[in-house]
Structure 1
Amino acid sequence: MSVKVRFAPSPTGKLHVGNVRTALVNWLFAKGQGGSFVLRIDDTDLVRSTQESEDNIEIDLKWLGLAWDERYNQSRRFDRYEEAAARLKAEGRLYPCYETADELDRRRKVQLSRGQPPIYDRAALSLTDAEKAAFEAEGRRPHWRFKLEGKRVAWEDLARGHAEVDTASMSDPVLIREDGLFLYTLPSVVDDIDMEITHIIRGEDHVTNTGAQIEIFEALGAKVPGFAHMPLLVGADGTALSKRLGSLAIMDMRADGYEPIAITSHLGKIGTSDNLEVAASLADLGAAFAFSKMGRSPARYDTADLDRLNAQAVHAIDYAEAKPRLEALGVDLGETFWNTVKGNLNKFGDVVDMAKIVTGPVTPVIEDAAFAADALELLPDTIDADAWSAWTAAVKDKTGAKGKGLFMPLRLALTGQAHGPDMAAMIPLIGRARLVQRLKGKAA
C-alpha cells in the first residue's frame, strides 16, 4: 500500500508556523515516497469553526505549494462517527459518565493531596440504571468515556524509535461531550480508518494520546497506522514561541513579503542535520527529507534564519519569474535592472526602493561640493558598463581621493544611500541626465 498521510487543521483561526510545519512534514514524507496528502478540515465544533478560516487554510497551503490529493470536512461525516460510537457502546468500550466538571476537579484535588495520580476512578461504571435515571431526571446529560485496557501500548515511531505508553496510567479519555459533540479523538480515528491513512505524523505532545488512539483503532477492528512524533518548535532561546517574534501566522508572513520556499525550507530543515539553506524547490526538499535526519531536541525557530533564507530565495529568482511581480509593483525596468539589484534585496518588495534610485527622484547627499564639482566635470559623455571604472580613475587622479574616500561620496551623491548594488551597473541605468543633476546637488 502506498503512503497516505493527512493534515487536519481546525478552521478556528489563522494557520501558523507550528501547524504548517506539521502539514509540510506530512507532505514531504508522502511526496518523497510517491504517496498522497489528504487535507481534512476538523470542523466538528460548529460554533467555533468559520468558513473564513477554512478558506484561509486553503489559500495558505496553496501559496506554500502544499497541494492536496483528497479533501474532506469532518462536519459532513457525523453519521460515521455515530456508527463507530454505537459499536463501542454495544461492546462496552464507551460508557456514560455524569460527573460535573466541578465534581471531577474535587476528585483530582483529593487524589493529589493523597499523593495519588489524578486518574479517573471509573466510578461511572458502577452506576445502576436507577442512578443513571436519577441523574437524567436532574437534567444531567452524560459525557462518554472510552474504556482503556490498561496495558503497555508499543510502536516503532519513525521519528523517536521504539515508543511505549502505559494506558493504565491514563484516565479513560472522553470521546463525546455532554452536549453530544464529538471531541477530536474518535472522529480522527474513524477518518484515518475510512481514508486508509498509513502514517500519522504530528508533534511529540501527542505521544500519550497515541496510546489511547491505538486502543481505539484495535477496538474498531482496524489496522493500526504508523506514527511519527516530531520535536516541537521553540524560540531561538529555547523557550516557547512568543508573540515577541512578530506574527507567526502564514497570511501575515505572506503580507510581510516572505517567499513561500523560504518558509518551507526553514520549517523543513530546522531541527534536522541538513544545512539550513534555501531549497531549489519543494520537490528537492521532499527528495532530501528523512526522519532519520531529525534530532530529538526541540527545533529552534529563529526569524534571523528565516530572513537569511528569504534573501537567498529572492536572489535566486530569475527575470522571467520576477517579471509579472515587477509589473504588479509598477517597477519592471528590464532584465538588466533586475539582475543588478536582486542581490541587494532581503524581500522582493525592496525592489521598489531600488527602482526609485533609477527613476528618481533621489535627493543626493553631497558631503564635499568641490569634490562633486570635480566629479561632474570629469563625468564621461557616454555612460556604459565601462564608464564607472574610467570615471573613478579620473576623479582619483584629480582629487587624490581613494578607496572609501573616493567611492562613498559618489555613491551618496548618485543614490542618496551608503550601500547598494554595484555602481558600475547602476549608473547606466540611472542615465547621464540624472547623474548630472544629482552631482549638482539637485533631486532628480
Structure 2
Amino acid sequence: MTQPTVRTRIAPSPTGFLHLGTARTALYSWAYARHHGGQFVLRIEDTDVARSTQDSVDQILASMRWLGLSYDEGPVYQMQRLARYHAVVNQMLAAGTAYKCWCSPDELDAMREAQKARGEKTGYDGRWRPAPGKVLPAVPDGVQPVVRFANPPDGIVTWNDLVKGPISISNTEIDDLIILRPDGVPTYNFAVVVDDWDMGITHVFRGDEHINNTPWQINIFNALGAPLPQFGHCPVILGEDGQKLSKRRGAVSVTAYEENGYLPEAMLNYLARLGWSHGDEELFSLDQMVAWFDGSHLSKSPAQWDAAKLSWVNAHYIKQADDARLAGLVAAQLAGRGVQAPADARLAAMCALFKDRCNTTVDLADWLQMYFAPVTPSADDLAAHLTDAVRPALVGLRDRLANLADGAWDKAAIAQALKDTLAEHKLKMPQLAMPLRALLCGRTQTPSVDAVVALFERRTVLERLQHV
C-alpha cells in the first residue's frame, strides 16, 4: 500500500501573541512536511470565545509571514466549523459513544469534594452515563446539558511517540470528558480530533503539556473509526530563570523579536536547535534544515532559552545579509524613532561598513543614526581629545574638505586630506581621528575614519566642524 501524503499542522489559540514554543512547533511541523513533500496546514483554534481576539489572529498571521513558514491550507477557523462538530456529536450520541449530562457545577464540585474526602482520584463519576439496567436521574427542568464522551472504562492507551518513544496511560486515569458545552461550542480535545480527521493530518508535533490529552484524543479517534495521526510531544522551552517560558510567564512575542532587530532566518536557526540537532551543526539554512529534518534527533529534555546565543546567531546572519535588505530594515528602525533615512545605496554602504559590529538591526540603527540626526559628544571625550594642540588641525582639515572638488567626496580624497593635515601639523592619526570621531559621530570608536567620513554628506561634516 502506498503511504498517505504527509500532512502536518500548527493550531495556535488566538488568546495572545504567537508564543516562541508554538513558533518552534510550527517550524518542526513545516520542516517535516517539506522534507517529505507533504502539506502544512494553519488552523486557528478560536473556541475560547471569551479570550480570543482579532488582534491575536492578526499577530499570529504576521508572525508566520515574518518567519516565512508558508502554509498550504488555511487559516481554518474552528468557530466556522460548528455545524460539523454538531453533526459528529449527533453521530456519537446515536452510536452510544457519547451521552448527555445534566450535572450542575455545584453537583460537580460536591462530587469532587466527596471523592477527596474518601481519598479517591477526583473526576466525573459517570452518573449520567447510560448502562444496561441502570436508572438515570430525572432530567432537571430548564437545564441545558453538556455532551460527554463515553471513554472506555478499562484498558490502556499506548502510542509510540515520535519524540519520547512508547507511552502508555490507563483508561482508569481519565474520565468521561465534556466534548460539547451547553452553548454548543466544542471543547479542545474533541474539536482537535474532528479537525485532524477532516484535514487528513498524519503527524502532530506539539508541546509535551498535551501528553495527558492524547489518550482522550486517541480514544475519540477510535470511537469515530478515524485514522490515527502519529504524535510527537516536544519538551517545553525554559526561560533563562529555569522556569517554563509561556504567554503568561515573561515570554516575548515573535513579532517583538522582529521589532528588536532580529532576522527571521536567525530566529528559525536558533529555534530549530532548541530541541533538535543535526550532528554538531549550529548554523544552517532553512533549506538545509528541510533536507535534514526527518523527525529523528528530537530531544527528550527541555531546552533553555539563551538570549546571548540568539544574539550570536543573529550577528552571523547580519554579517551574511544583503546590504540593500539591511538598509530597508534600518530605515524602518530609524523611522520608528522619527529619523528619516532613505533606504538607498548610501544607507546600504553604511550597513556594509558597520554590520560586522552589530548583533541586531537595532544596533545597526544605533550606529547609523549619526548620519541623519544630530549627535552630542560627551564632555569627557571632548576634554580628553579636543585639545588646543589639535584644534588648528581640525580647522585645517575642515578647510581641505570644504575645498574638495565637486564629485571628489570619497574615501580616497578624504584619506588624502587627513594625511596632508597630519603632515602639516606634525600629528599622528589618533590625535586627529579621536576628536574628529567625537565631533562627527558622538563617539570615539568607529571603523576606519576615512570610510566613516566619506558616508556623511559634506555639509553635515562641515557643520559639525564649524565650532572647533
Which category of TM-score, normalised to the shorter sequence, fits these structures? 0.7 to 0.9
Within the alignment, does 1:206 sit opposite 2:206 as a pair?
A: no
2:92 matched to which residue of 1? 88
Conserved? CA contact 2:155–2:170, under 8 Å = yes
Query: Residues 121 and 401 of structure 1: is their aligned pair in 2 closer, same or farther, counting only changes over 3 Å?
Result: same
* Selected match of 1:218 from 211, 219, 222: 222
2:388 is matched by which residue type in structure 1?
A
2:156 is matched by which residue type in structure 1?
R
- Give the TM-score taking structure 2 as reference length: 0.81
Within the alignment, does 1:99 sit opposite 2:103 as a pair?
A: yes
2:58 is matched by which residue type in structure 1?
D
1:157 matched to which residue of 2? 161
Structure 1, unpaired ranges of 5+: none
Alpha-carbon distance in 1 for matches of 2:417, 2:237: 50
Aligned-residue offset at 1:420: 3.5
Alpha-carbon distance in 2 for matches of 1:293, 1:70: 28
Alpha-carbon distance in 2 for matches of 1:273, 1:191: 31
Aligned-residue offset at 1:3: 1.0
1:423 matched to which residue of 2? 449
2:356 is matched by which residue type in structure 1?
G
Aligned-residue offset at 1:40: 1.4
Single out whichever of 269-278 and 364-373 deviates more from structure 2. 269-278
* Selected match of 2:359 from 346, 350, 358: 346
1:24 matched to which residue of 2? 27
* Selected match of 2:149 from 143, 146, 153: 146
1:174 matched to which residue of 2? 178
1:293 matched to which residue of 2? 297
Alpha-carbon distance in 2 for matches of 1:245, 1:411: 44
Alpha-carbon distance in 2 for matches of 1:95, 1:412: 78
Conserved? CA contact 2:12–2:43, under 8 Å = yes
Structure 2, unpaired ranges of 5+: 336-340, 405-409
RMSD: 3.4
Within the alignment, does 1:55 sit opposite 2:58 as a pair?
A: yes
Alpha-carbon distance in 1 for matches of 2:28, 2:250: 23
Alpha-carbon distance in 2 for matches of 1:198, 1:440: 70
Aligned-residue offset at 1:4: 0.3
* Selected match of 2:375 from 362, 380, 384: 362
Conserved? CA contact 2:390–2:432, under 8 Å = no
Aligned-residue offset at 1:221: 0.8
2:411 matched to which residue of 1? 384
Aligned-residue offset at 1:311: 2.9
Query: Residues 371 and 33 of structure 1: is their aligned pair in 2 closer, same or farther, counting only changes over 3 Å?
Result: farther
Q: What per-residue deviation string (whole Å, max 9, x for no partner) do you get for residues 205-256 of structure 1?
A: 1112111111111111111111100001111231122789866122333333
Pairing of 1:272-351 with structure 2 (within 5 A):
272-273=276-277, 277=282, 279-280=284-285, 282-325=286-329, 329=335, 330-331=341-342, 332=344, 333-351=346-364
2:39 matched to which residue of 1? 36
Instruction: Give the SS at the match of 2:139.
Output: helix
Give the percent of matched residue pairs that are identical in Structure 1 and Structure 2: 36
Alpha-carbon distance in 2 for matches of 1:413, 1:432: 14
Query: Residues 135 and 304 of structure 1: is their aligned pair in 2 closer, same or farther, counting only changes over 3 Å?
Result: farther
Alpha-carbon distance in 2 for matches of 1:326, 1:401: 31
Aligned-residue offset at 1:197: 0.6
Alpha-carbon distance in 2 for matches of 1:374, 1:230: 67
Instruction: Give the SS at the match of 2:91.
Output: helix
Single out whichever of 227-236 and 40-49 deviates more from structure 2. 40-49
For this pair of structures, how many residues does the alignment match? 437
Query: Residues 209 and 327 of structure 1: is their aligned pair in 2 closer, same or farther, counting only changes over 3 Å?
Result: closer
Alpha-carbon distance in 2 for matches of 1:363, 1:384: 24
Single out whichever of 159-168 and 354-363 deviates more from structure 2. 354-363
Conserved? CA contact 1:375–1:439, under 8 Å = no
Query: Residues 263 and 437 of structure 1: is their aligned pair in 2 closer, same or farther, counting only changes over 3 Å?
Result: same
Alpha-carbon distance in 2 for matches of 1:360, 1:86: 67
Aligned-residue offset at 1:182: 0.9
Conserved? CA contact 1:378–1:394, under 8 Å = no
Conserved? CA contact 2:263–2:317, under 8 Å = yes
- Give the TM-score taking structure 1 as reference length: 0.85
* Selected match of 1:14 from 14, 17, 33: 17
Conserved? CA contact 1:151–1:166, under 8 Å = yes
Conserved? CA contact 1:372–1:440, under 8 Å = no
Q: What per-residue deviation string (whole Å, max 9, x for no partner) do you get for residues 377-409 of structure 1?
A: 7858786359289849958x945797xx88655
1:185 matched to which residue of 2? 189
Query: Residues 360 and 17 of structure 1: is their aligned pair in 2 closer, same or farther, counting only changes over 3 Å?
Result: closer
* Selected match of 1:68 from 52, 68, 71: 71
